A and B are shown apart, each in its own frame.
Chain A
Amino acid sequence: MRSRLKVVAMATGTVLLAGLAGCSASGGSDGTTEITWWKLTETADSANAAITQIVADFEEAHPDITVNVEERSVDGHKDALRTAIGTAGAPDVFFSWAGYGLGGEFVDAGASLELEEYYDEYGWKDRFSEANLVPITQYGGYNGVPYTQRGEALFYRKDSFAEAGIDTVPTTYEELVAANDKLVAAGITPIQFGGTVNWHLMRLLDNLLETECGADTFDALVAKEASWADEECVTDTFVEFQKWTDEYVNEGFVSINNDESSSLLYSGDAAMALEGDWFNQVLRDNDQDEDNYGIMQFPTGTDRLYGFVEANYISSNSEHADEAAVFLDYLTSEDAQPTFIKAFGSQSVNVDVPAPADQSALDASWTPIFTESKGLFMNNDQNLSLSETTEYWRIQNLVATNELDPKKAGAEFQKFIDQQ
């Protein structure tokens, strides 16, 4: 009996020691420094290959640093960060969307290292455009390093437009509405959305808000410097929004997600989608003929680009902040960005990295959209706090399903804001 207990105790101790030995190996046995980078799982093989190549190239150029990449789904990534940030288990570098309600949460929690010294050391202030730096500097100082800049615009099927007799691409809001009416008359759903993922339909509401209110009022509203209850343009926005969901958006959008609704675009049942520059690759992955698609900005009249910035942040309690900065410098450099943008998008965050010369026509159509835009307005789930975003979506969906008078939507949202 006693000898059996000894064996069990020894086995248990061995297992515990083995487990502890595997933990927090931030120092390699060969003297290298290991940094961890938490990011989202890439669904496209090309994106995975690009990241693998970039990390390998970095490690070859910096043999004293190894990068341990950990990938998770969107929600898994958010959950992991929330529980690990501020603890010894936090990564050295982590990805997040840069908006106030997302990346801003980490900055508010003191989880993000302020990086101005690295911005000065590596010249990052000149490397990134003003639009890319707005979300980085909005909290004071420099929090995060731009990773991708995303633009969102209207993808349209050229064959559907031709069938509906739309000869020219709409450049004003009135022309866009007229085009919608022609599509309806031709029996084609003008635009598709998946309503179960609230952020998808939200893009339409955001663009209508920019259209009706203009850039200054839009910014004031999301900064809570203007009242959603008092601004007349907010009422106009929700009235227009309800008109779109009643007349122009695919039936049954409330009960399907964005992937399901996109199939309507692929089949030609819907003519347009409000998507981002990543959608070029999605079209290719779904065997769509790129030449049949065109891209136009939602004609808000403000010439601002609708999009968002994704960034990589260095944990405030990272023991390897210097090494993390070296990696982020490489990731955004002219050495790595050409490989990166081939798989991730059409525009590099580095102003000195041009778009690839062998881009497809569809990819190249993003260049003037990015270069000619005067400023950026972000998706409101990045502008608003998490609680406000949840309420914004609830009101959005109530109006979309005719359960709330659009004239009361602004006041309903302002009531919630006032209670926070």
Chain B
Amino acid sequence: MTTAPVIAPQGGAPGAPLRPRRPQRGSARQWLRRSGKTGFFAALPFLAPALAAYVVFVVGPMVESVRLSFFEWSGFQGAPQEFVGIKNYVRIFTQDPVFWAAFSNTIIWVVLSLVIPVGLGLTMAMVLNRPLFGRNTFRSIFYIPGVIAPIAIANMWRWMYNPNYGIGASLAETFNAPWLAEIQWLGDKNIALYAIFAAFVWQIAGTNMVLFLAGLQSVSVEHVEAAKLDGANAWQVFRNVTLPALRPTTVIVVVLTIINSIKVFDLIVGMTGGGPAQSTQVLALWSYSQSFGNHNYGMGNAIATVLLIITLVIVVPYMVWTARSEKES
């Protein structure tokens, strides 16, 4: 038989029952316990590598980008960086003939992204959450565009929109509707941005659907049945039971949509390059064009900084508001 080791309690006689050690007043451990930080500091050694990688590969380039926005630099390693203060910002806001078009296109893109692919994803999730024949097949079909490389999607849709050999030309011939062949999907500045957006919806709606499907699994079946028993119709069940339960998923989808839409790049590059005449230009691509195309790193990074501020202005208040709403509920 083993016996427990006898540990002399502090200040007590040997063999006296154990009492928990009380931290000394002013000790580090007491401070940690009072401030609730014991767990964090204990975890810090495990977080440190990821934190270091985040600082080096994310925070560092961000800070460097903001710093470069106050300089003029051609991007060549040996070329000097000339400090110009806010000159780059003055230029993009007052002299750049493309900036404001890119800015408004970016805002339009974000707003449309929050409405159409999010709404479509939720609708598809609601439909495919029911026991339907071929449900899994449909889920796969709708999700597949989300795993195709964006530049491949751009190439595919560019060919679909081709005025000579694309879908418009084929449909025009099939239905004897020549006006269909005359639509310049990517050549008409009034519709080109929305034509590209259609490709974006095709790409992203399935991913949103998958996220909402996952969220729908957490909706309590009992609550839904109870609501129905109380006489709620489908819309009332959706609004009062399903949507509130989907709130955490909705936050994720909305935040991801905002971030992905603000930095849209591949589809624009692949389908129009920002044309015709920069009418489909967006801030991310214009920043890239200034830096890597025109060797104007100062202006390119100024545009990137503006993009960063827009992202923070939209995302941070939304997340704060969401967190507060969750706390209140």
Contacts and interface: CB of A to CB of B under 8 A. Distances in A.
Contact of B184 (A83, A254, A263, A403): A254
B275 A252 contact: no
Interface stretch (B121-129, B161-169, B216-224, B229-237): B161-169
Contact of A260 (B162, B277, B278, B289): B162
Interface stretch (A20-28, A357-365, A394-402): A394-402
A416 B294 CA distance: 14
A173 to B, nearest CB: 26
Contacts of B273: 196
Given A252-B187, A255-B184, A394-B98, A85 B76 contact: yes
Contacts of B189: 401, 403
B318 interface: no
Contacts of B184: 252, 254-255
Interface string B267-283: 00000110111100000
Contact of B162 (A84, A256, A419): A256
Interface string B141-170: 000000000000000000001111100000
Contact of A82 (B76, B162, B185, B187): B76
B317 interface: no
Interface string B292-307: 1111100000000000
A256 B163 contact: yes
A110 B163 CA distance: 45
Interface in A366-419: 386-387, 390-391, 394-395, 397-398, 400-401, 403, 416, 419
Nearest to A316: B78
Nearest to B279: A403
A403 B294 CA distance: 24
Contacts of B42: none
Interface string A242-259: 000000000111111000
Nearest to A397: B277
A256 B189 CA distance: 14
A79 interface: yes
Contacts of B292: 79, 82
Contact of A387 (B187, B277, B294): B294
B186 A255 contact: yes
A254 B275 contact: yes
Interface in A6-34: none
Contacts, number: 98
Q: Which of A87, A254, A400 has the most CB of B within 10 A?
A: A254
Contact of A105 (B74, B78, B161, B182): B74
Contacts of A87: 77-78
B295 A390 contact: no
B97 A109 contact: no
Contacts of B75: 82
A86 B79 contact: yes
Given A196-B275, A255-B184, A109 B164 contact: no
- Choose among A196, A251, A255, A387 the residue with the greatest number of B CB atoms under 10 Å from its CB: A255
A293 B161 CA distance: 30
Interface string B74-87: 11111100000000
Nearest to A257: B158
B95 interface: yes
A397 B276 contact: yes
Nearest to A387: B294
Given A260-B162, A386-B293, A196 B76 contact: no
Contacts of A263: 164
Given A82-B76, A260-B164, A264-B164, A255 B295 contact: no
B78 A86 contact: yes
A373 B78 CA distance: 40
B243 to A, nearest CB: 41
Interface in A103-144: 105-106, 108-111
Given A86-B77, A87-B77, A419-B95, A255 B277 contact: no
Interface string A70-89: 00000000010011111100
10 closest A-B pairs by CB: A252-B163, A86-B78, A254-B187, A255-B187, A397-B277, A255-B186, A86-B77, A109-B76, A386-B294, A398-B277
24 contacts: A82-B75, A82-B295, A105-B74, A106-B76, A109-B74, A110-B79, A195-B187, A195-B275, A196-B272, A251-B163, A252-B162, A252-B163, A252-B164, A252-B187, A255-B161, A255-B162, A255-B163, A255-B186, A260-B162, A260-B164, A386-B293, A386-B295, A390-B293, A394-B97
Interface of B: 74-79, 91, 95, 97-98, 161-165, 182, 184-187, 189, 192, 272-273, 275-278, 289, 292-296
Given A196-B186, A252-B163, A390-B293, 18 more contacts: A86-B77, A105-B74, A109-B76, A110-B79, A196-B273, A251-B163, A251-B182, A252-B164, A252-B184, A252-B187, A254-B276, A255-B161, A386-B293, A386-B294, A386-B295, A394-B98, A394-B278, A403-B277
